[in-house]
Structure 1
Amino acid sequence: MAWIEQTGQHAWRVRYQRDTGRYGSISGFSNKKAATDYANDLESDRRRGSWIDPAAGNITTSAWSVVWVETVDVETRTEENYRAYLRNHILPRWGYTTLGDITALDVTTWRKDLRKRYAASTVAGILTVFSMMLDDAVDQRLIPTNPVHRRRRRGRRRDHAPSRLEKVFAMPEHVIQIADQATMLGGPSAGLLVITAAWTGCRWGELAGLQRDHIHLDRGTIIIDPEIGALHESAHELWLGPPKTPASARTIPLPPFLIELLREHLAATTGTFVFTSPLGCRLRRSTFDRRVFRPAVDGNTRKGAQPVRPGLTFHGLRHSHKTWLIADKIPEIAQARRLGHHLSNRLAEVYSHVAPEIEPELLKNLERRWYYAHQTRRPKDSRPRRTPPAPRSAPHAPHTAATLRTTDKLRHRYPRPQHIKPHRGEMITNREARILPNSSVSVHTRDQRPHRTTLIELMRKALRPGKNATIERL
């Protein structure tokens, strides 16, 4: 129910009953007709169910944020991020402004000012939280519309275009170099953590929360538990909880080399968690990233680390694993099962399955990448090499392998094997002509049968009567 009242000679107001039972008023009308039209519109909006109390928007943004943040049902870490956006960015600008006084033009000006000081991702996060607050205010019938809603074709074109910056990924040889430097900075557990992340595609929380009971090396698998399969962290605490999505709870087969590395690691360590700090404590992502991963990737001359793949993040190792699977032509459904993803095509996801022969092929390719990465990283042999002697002409016998490996010292001590030349007036058989004086193996051509004669037999033959000339030659 609404009615009008005259408050002065040329002043009118509209009176109405609020939902709480109290009465409210709207002033500022200069004539009776304007006040009457407004009262009629108010009654029409009430009958349609679209009426909003003008006085409801008088609540300040600061007071509404206290009510709103208690209704948000998200993870602890996400709620902390929301509170940080409110405390550092939203309330300093809008805290004393009523919800009804926030206009789209004011929001656009504020957005432009934020872009001058913060990264695009930070600005997007701030505006998202502010828009969520005002969306709930609209649902609560405090304001008619949300002034933060972005209007199309507004602003610079490059702000609307999708980002073309590709995520940095790493090849296996890069991962091994990063793991070597991570081992130097954070111990063997840090290096093995990097290798496991790259060769399994697990998320940070899944590996930081991996427990010994969830590794089955006899079967060659690790299990991401649906209830306690990930380590969650906030500013003040760490706790085990479910992984990111229901599809993230999975069993991941391991390549043979990783099974052996994990077996050696578990035999040399104690404790519940597989990957820990050098002091045996649970890992914090920010600490590990600052002290170990960033220096190992970007390089740090003070710590003796060389740059390998600047810009690579720990989650980039998961991107790298996906890239390797694509290069190996692994089916998309097998990739999704291994990484804990949902396919965008739900029909294909329901009717697609991983054939038995796919998994051995996948593990073989991962093992091959590990092997070739080590071959690529193997340092070149810079030792001087002796040029092998040129092959001898056809009438002469080829050198034996033992002769080729003879050192210079032995070469001077024992001259190169020569054919026995027949003595003047004597006939020597073809077999004797192919005996090497300083070898126990006879050298023969392809059309002859192999013959083996020791030096002792040759000396006995030379000691026979009439063979003195042969003795002299020996």
Structure 2
Amino acid sequence: MPYIEWRGGSCRVKWWAGGYLPSGKKKYESASGPAPGVPFQDETAAYNYGLDREHDVRHGKHISRSDRTTPMESYCWTWLAAQDLRPESVRRYTSILTNWIVPYWRSHGVGEITSLEYDAWKKYIQGKVGASHAIGILSVFSMLMEDAVLEGMRSSSPVVKRRRRGRYVKKAREKKHPLDVETVYRLAVNAHTVWGYTGWTYIWTMAFTGMRTGEMWGLRREFAPPNWPASDPDPERREECVSRYTSMQAIRVQHQHQYVEGVATFTGPKYESHRTLVVPPFLAEMLGALLASHDKAVVFPSMSGGYLLGACNFGATYWWPISRGASARVGRKDTARPEIPSVPAMSGKRIYLLRHGHKEWLEDDGHLETPTEARMGHEIAGVKGLYGNVTPGMELRIIETLQARWEKLLTSGVWLPPFPSRLPSQGS
């Protein structure tokens, strides 16, 4: 049973915490009030508080003071070390903890953060960063609190979804326009000016496959047509795919290129979304011509012949001139270039919208959800995803509709660059 004691004019209750000291004596905890800074009004309130704590001990719901008061700074890094994450997620979580969570909650006890304190911090975060980044920060904090509950350091998470109060603020969404093939063409022409035939093919490949940027940078020559699937290093997959893709050409998304502990590394694609992407004949022809023009390990080498990852600021060096345009540049023969016109529909936009546009095309052409989501590297949840399967017929129809978009563009008499000739070997 709890017992009451008075110290310096204040009432304090002590109760058995359910454990024992090294000496074998019972371990007690105490409190001078129901909350920090709030004293008990009388002995009855203190005694009832102690009874409630002993009830929690008996029913396995008690949270010890040492767990409850564990500093967030210590808990955050212990939590991160216990996670099994991909390298890109480790970097992102480390950045969020370092810049936004640990500095604010450093000395708070894990089990002492209230929902109102969380709401105030959430408002603070939303006023400091963009909507997308704020969602990422709050998501990591929510995981921290959920795991603290599982570890017995809290009874519940302070991240509580409340009914909306106050003025309504509509969520800001990126303004997008339907992607038309003429816009992609203008981007590809600009890319040819900036980056040669590599840039021309890069834009068409991203728009007509929906690959992610890291996957584009990590596309190795053995996984692109005309080499794949005969060049696939996996014997079982090679045998299966050679028979399936006799009349179709395809890209195998097997890698993305990213930094792992500071080292450029070919890792699996995001969410382990390995997949095969059939490509229309015109794109297969472009990729074949590009691969014949160089001997690099990746399909899309940088301007200097190396990897795009880490070679430069991709946005400033490649994408901004391609989408926003740039003034004419004079100088050495290898750096001079004419004026590049802006592409208004994509100026100031992310190159990732080419991936969004690819999904728009698939849906606009009436393709089923299963091949569409599989092509984007997404998993369909539930029974639909369990029973769904991409058939050769579905892939053939995708090829036909994508090729039709290209051929419709050609009817307008557009300029096409000549196929490149074999280039001398450059640095890797």
In the alignment, is residue 307 of structure 1 matched against residue 376 of structure 2?
no
TM-score of the superposed pair, with normalisation by structure 2: 0.77
Contact 1:10 1:31 in 2 (8 A): no
Query: What is the CA–CA distance in structure 2 between the aligned matches of 1:372 and 1:186, rounded to whole Å?
Result: 26
The structural deviation recorded for 1:178 is: 0.7
Give the counterpart of 2:30 among 18, 25, 30: 25
Q: Name the structure 2 match of 1:203.
A: 212
Confirm whether residue 150 of structure 1 aligns to residue 161 of structure 2. Answer: yes
In structure 2, what is the Cα distance between the partners aligned to 1:64 and 1:352?
Answer: 43
> In structure 2, what is the equivalent of residue 373 of structure 1?
409
Give the deviation of 1:276 after TM superposition.
Answer: 1.1
Q: Give the unaligned 5+ runs of structure 1.
A: 380-474
TM-score normalised by the chain length of structure 1: 0.70
- Structure with higher Rg: it is 1
Distance between the aligned counterparts of 1:302 and 1:98, measured in 2? 59
Give distance in 1, aligned partners of 2:280 and 2:104: 54
Quote the residue 1:38 is aligned against. Answer: 49
The equivalent of 1:253 in structure 2 is: 278
C-alpha RMSD over aligned residues: 2.9
Query: Is 1:139 paired with 2:150?
Result: yes
- Aligned equivalents of 2:99 and 2:359: distance in 1? 37
Q: Which residue of 2 aligns with 1:221?
A: 249
> Deviations for 1:253-294, whole angstroms, at most 9, x for unmatched residues?
221212221121111101211111122222228832332113
Structure 1 distance, partners of 2:11, 2:278, is: 80
More relative contact order, 1 or 2 (CA 8 Å, 6+ apart):
2
Q: For 1:92 and 1:9, how far apart are their aligned partners in 2?
A: 37
Alignment of 1:281 onto 2:290: no
**Equivalent residue pairs, number:** 373
Cα 1:318–1:262, aligned 2, differ >3 Å: closer, same or farther? same
Shift of 1:158: 2.6
Distance in 2 separating the partners of 1:324 and 1:203: 16
8 A contact 2:323–2:342 mirrored in 1? yes
Deviations along 1:120-148, whole A, 9 cap, x unmatched?
A: 22222222222222222222222333223
C-alpha distance in 1 between matches for 2:218 and 2:289: 19
Aligned to 2:114: 103
Pair 15,252 (structure 1): closer, same or farther in 2 beyond 3 Å: closer
Alpha-carbon distance, 1:114 to partner: 2.9
Which residue of the partner structure matches residue 16 of structure 2? 16
**Alignment partners' CA distance in 1, 2:193 and 2:119:** 49
Does structure 2 conserve the Cα–Cα contact (< 8 Å) formed by 1:14 and 1:27?
A: no
Alpha carbons 1:216, 1:222 under 8 Å: kept: yes
- Corresponding residue for residue 384 of structure 1: none
Query: 2:368 pairs with 324, 331, 342, which one?
Result: 331
Shift of 1:169: 4.8
For 1:360 and 1:133, the matched residues in 2 are separated by: 46
Q: How does 1:168-247 map to 2 (within 5 A)?
A: 168-217=177-226, 219=246, 220-224=248-252, 228-233=254-259, 236-245=262-271
Equivalent-residue separation in structure 2 for 1:191 and 1:142 (angstroms):
56
8 Å CA contact retained: 2:257, 2:266: yes
Q: How does 1:87-126 map to 2 (within 5 A)?
A: 87-126=98-137
Partner of 2:353: 316
Q: Which amino acid aligns with 1:182?
A: A
Identify which of 305, 320, 328 aligns with 1:294.
320
Identity score, percent: 29
